[in-house]
Amino acid sequence: MHLRPLGRTGLQVSNLCLGTMQFGWTTDERASFAVMDAFVEAGGNFFDTADVYSRWAPGNPGGVSEQIIGRWLKDRGNRDRLIIATKVRGRMWEGPDGEGLSRAHITRAIEDSLRRLQIETIDLYQCHSPDEKTPIEETLRAFEETISSGKVRHIGASNFTAAQLAEALRVAGEKSLPHLETLQPHYNLVHRAEYEDELASLCERESIGVIPYSPLAAGFLTGKYRPGQPQPRSARAGRVREYMNAPGFAVLEALDRIAAAHDMTPAAVALAWQMTRPAIVAPIVGANSPEQLADLLPAAELTLSQGEIAALDRVSASF
């Protein structure tokens, strides 16, 4: 993998980021350790999680992904070589401060995440989604406290609209508060407009490091969902139905052609296309096994021609 600068943070991160939402949900701890080992062995150094992962699953109280990463970090003794990102916002306990981006919630949530991860400092602490009930100034001041205390190095956001991100940047500038340095948008070949319409230009202008989630459209862009074939059994299978139509399958056909020319998987081509976009630092990829991860890792070294990029741009333009 190649190292890229993460916006203006000064951090150098691998051009693929390992997402860990599946740890403790669709992947047990042993398999999670194997995936993390394989990622690091391939040159990856950038891990993304969230405190709420995977609280929606039966029997999962949340925080499980962080706990698994923490035990792995302690066992492997490699914390100093890695960039660890996590997120705050979702409901983690009962009561009025059990969720959100208030100072009260952040103050407790950061301690909980540090304890679960078994580390002293989080490299990138992100708003998981906006909190309309809390003024952004309060959130940024809470983040300022976490930075000044040495618990956090940099801050970012996920799922912010262009207007929300611009407002956070404005308030930070006017009040001399910490600047959101990264953005996690939902972005891929069959979900382009949400990011490209306004967020892309804002991130380029403000030097925001972009680390997209769902770069493979919940597995659709891997090519395992095909017309007239039974759908694979997957916890995320229901999310791909919106792409299973003529325009979506046309994107798969284009990926197939380019993948065959490079002896790569369609997934690797989809990731490589995304890495050609301005401001994109590292797509967030997940895997339930080292074998699944191995299908994605070649994207980090794949260079697409201008013609191939243009062909993918055209076939996905309606998205």
Predicted model pTM: 0.94
What percentage of residues in the chain have a pLDDT greater than 70?
A: 97
Tell me which of 53, 125, 187, 243 is the catalytic residue: 53
Tokens of 167: 């407002």
Average pLDDT value for residue range 111-117: 98
Q: What is the pLDDT of residues 118-131, one digit of tens each?
A: 999 999 999 999 99
Tokens of 46: 């950038």
Instruction: Say if residues 24 and 53 touch (Cβ distance below 8 Å).
Output: yes
Catalytic (active site) residue 53: yes
Asked if the model's pLDDT at residue 232 lies above 70, the reply is: no
**Least confident interval from 151-165, 176-190, 228-242, 260-274:** 228-242
Average pLDDT value for residue range 155-179: 98
- The residue with tokens 């260079």 is 303
> Which pLDDT score is estimated for 238?
65
Count CB-CB contacts under 10 A for residue 318: 12
From residue 157, how far is each of 113, 126, 150 by CA, in Å? 17, 5, 19
Asked if the model's pLDDT at residue 197 lies above 70, the reply is: yes
Euclidean distance between CA atoms 208 and 280, whole angstroms: 9
